[in-house]
Structure formats: C-alpha cells, structure tokens
Amino acid sequence: MFEVLPLLPADPILGLSAAFKLEKNPNKVDLGVGVYKNEQGQTVILDSVAKAQQILLEKEDSKTYITPQGVQGFIDGMLTLLLGADHTALKDNRVAAVQAPGGCGALRILSELIKRCDENATVWVSDPTWANHIPLIGSAGLEIKTYPYFDQSTGGIKFDEMAECLNQVKKGDVVLLHGCCHNPTGADLSQEQWQQVLEIAQKTGFIPFIDTAYQGFGDGLDEDAYGLRLLASNLPEVIVAASCSKNFGLYRERVGLAAMITSSDKVREATQSQIQYIARGIYSMPPSYGGALVDIILNSEEMKKQWQGEVTDMRTRMQSLRVLLADKLREKGANRDFSFITRQKGMFSYLCITPEQVRAMRTEHGVYFVESSRVNVAGISLNNADYLADSLINVLK
C-alpha cells in the first residue's frame, strides 16, 4: 500500500537542523529552528527546571494515568500566567482548559474543536505566519485565509491593511493572532493596535484564536500577555494555545495548554467535555512529565521567582544580540538600514532578503536560516556577529 506515497520535502524549519549538521564550513552558524541558545551555542536545561526535576524524582510515586485534562496544578498555574490571577473569566469559571502535547498539540485539538463548532468556519492567519500553522489547522479540515500583516519595507506591521481586512471577516470566523513575539517576523502589535483589534472583533463578531508560544521573550511575562488579557476581558469567547517549549526550555517534553474562554460556566462544562473527547480520540491524554515540572515551578514562590529571572536573562540577552547585529551591519556599511531588527520582539527577525540571498548565505557562508529570511536571534553570539554581518553584506552586494 505504501508505494502510492510520494516523498515529501524536508520540513522547512526542522529540516534545517539535519542539513546544518552536514555543513563542513568551520565558521557555520545555525539561525534556523527556534530554540534558545547561550553564548556557547548550547540549549541548556534551565536551573529552575533542573531543580524541579529533582523534586519530581523524589516526590513522584506512581506512573498510573493522570486525569484526561492533564496535571491540574499545571493548568491552574498556566491560566494564571496567561490571564493574570484576578481575571474575570477565571473568577466566573468560564475557562475550559487541557494540558496538551506542546503548543502544536494545543493548536491541533483546538482546530478540531473549531471544526465541531462550525464546519464552515474559516481561520484567518497573518501573512506570513509560522509555517506549521497551516498543516496544524488545515489537517482539521478548516479553510485558511490570510490577512495582511508584515510590511517588508519597514520591518513593521501594515496595520491599516490588516484592520481593513479584519473588518470584512464574517461573524463566527476565527482570527489567529500571535500573542507576542510574532513568529516568523518579530513584528508585534502595539497596545493601541490590540485595542483596535478588540474593537473590530466586537463589531464583526470574529473569534480570536491567540497562539502564545514566547511569553516573556518580548517585553516581559505580563507585558507579553497584554493583548490576550485585553481580548479575554472584553469578549465572550477567546481561544488560546500556549507553549512551554521556549520560556521553560521544555522543547522535547512537549508541554502546552489549550484554553477556551467561554461565555458561561455551563458552556465551559460542555466545551471541556468536547476538548477532552477530541484529545482522547487522537492521543488519549497528555504526557505528564513536563506539565508536572511546570506545576512545581509555577506553584512555588521561590522557584517561580528563579524561573522569572531566567526568562528575564534570556530576553535581555536576545535584545542585546539584536542591537549587536544591527550595530555591526551599520558600522560595516551595509547598503540598507537594518535597525528594524532592534524594534522587533522575541526570538525571530525577518531580514527581508530574497530567497536567493538566503540560499547564498547558506552555500557561500554556511549560515543557515529559513528561506523566508527568518533568523533565530538566539543563534547570534559575540563570536559570530562579525562573521554574520560580513556574510550578509557580501550577499547583498
């Protein structure tokens, strides 16, 4: 039976890691997959996570099944992190939520849920959006359309065009918004723009679907939740997919949350039963381990503080790397203005160069990043910044 299957191309993001390993250039630089790296290029386990692992090792006394929704302390801790402790939707018991296998698992089961609510719903995604949004949402059989977002000429957002498009979205359609640190561009909505998005949602009746995978990497843990909290406070329904891959560095443990802010406690109960039914039909229940670690961290004042400090360190380092690269490019006389890199947020920047130039960076200089020109800022270091700037200036000639 398998003979009918054609060979698919490598994943546009994950495929880069395999190609990078084979690269022979001694100066090679990996700016591909979105993982945080230290100055030595290593993705180490956070100290708070290492401590939580020790605690879990001592306290875990069974490997029996956990509840279908996942680790409850994880869910409660994450909802507080995302919405804030006093959020009205939490107080009114209007939030359905399950632990999910990573942000991807959350996006997938939430897409299935949208399909169950309205099989004709269209999901609107930003142009561009994270490449894996398309298969995750599309596999649920939902139609996907794009709204204008990134402005290649400024490195910012085409907000007027975005607003004009969202004003035409029909009631009940779903609009996927990146909570912070837009992947792939790093161009984020300002607080005023979030306010306008809220007003458009109130007017048109579209449902926001907020994907928040980088909370804490933009301006801070609370600051990065501004848009989500604003929409969740003022709209009856908001869908949220969150990931702990980046801010807890738990990539391989697959830890995420699928949350649905519903209009009432009664609707929440039915929604909770549905999302658990969907998860049961795909993977039954989430793996416990990563959620148990996040539970330990978020529910201990001392460990939470330690983790918050580590998030701050990662964020400030990435901000300084943005400045480092932009400064090097300016000092070395790049023939265009790259200062937008310093205004973008989080782990990624779009360099706004052509696919041919991206390929030249790879073949001529051993610098690997996604063909769209998305770079992982955390892959820049004091050691490679000169080489990166020189290589980029060279391919732009």
Catalytic residues: 130, 211, 246
Residue 235 or 341: the one with the smaller Cβ distance to ligand LMR is 341
Rounded distance between C-alpha atoms, residue 107 and residue 81, angstroms: 19
Residue 13 or 140: the one with the smaller Cβ distance to ligand LMR is 13
Q: What is the DSSP string of 103-169?
A: HHHHHHHHHHHHHHH-TT-EEEEEES--TTHHHHHHTTT-EEEEEE-EETTTTEE-HHHHHHHHTTP
Residue 183 or 272: the one with the smaller Cβ distance to ligand LMR is 183
In the numeric block, the tokens 């790259």 are attached to 338
| Coil/strand/helix, residue 182 | coil
Looking at the DSSP bridge assignments, the partners of residue 291 are none
Rounded distance between C-alpha atoms, residue 299 and residue 52, angstroms: 11
Rounded distance between C-alpha atoms, residue 248 and residue 310, angstroms: 9
As measured in angstroms, the least distance from the Cβ of 16 to ligand LMR is 9
Let me know: does 221 contact 191? Beta carbons within 8 Å: no
As measured in angstroms, the least distance from the Cβ of 13 to ligand LMR is 4
Q: What is the chain's Cα-based Rg?
A: 21
Cβ-based neighbour number of residue 170 at 10 Å? 11
Rounded distance between C-alpha atoms, residue 153 and residue 276, angstroms: 44
Q: Give Cα separations from 133 to 92, 137, 303 (angstroms).
A: 31, 6, 33
| Cα torsion 166, 167, 168, 169: sign | positive
Positions that interact with ligand LMR (CB under 6 A): 13, 33-34, 130, 132, 183
Beta-sheet pairing, 238-243 with 150-151? unpaired
Let me know: does 188 contact 218? Beta carbons within 8 Å: yes
Our CA dihedral for 374, 376, 380, 384, rounded to 10 degrees, sits at: -60
| Cis before 101? omega within 30 | no
Query: What are the helix and strand counts (H, E) for the chain?
Result: 15, 13
Let me know: does 194 contact 202? Beta carbons within 8 Å: no
Residue 27 or 132: the one with the smaller Cβ distance to ligand LMR is 132
Let me know: does 372 contact 34? Beta carbons within 8 Å: no
Residue 34 or 249: the one with the smaller Cβ distance to ligand LMR is 34
Beta-sheet pairing, 207-212 with 238-243? parallel
Name the residue number minimizing CB distance to ligand LMR. Answer: 34
As measured in angstroms, the least distance from the Cβ of 11 to ligand LMR is 8
Q: Is residue 14 within a helix (H) or strand (E), and if so which, with residue range?
A: none
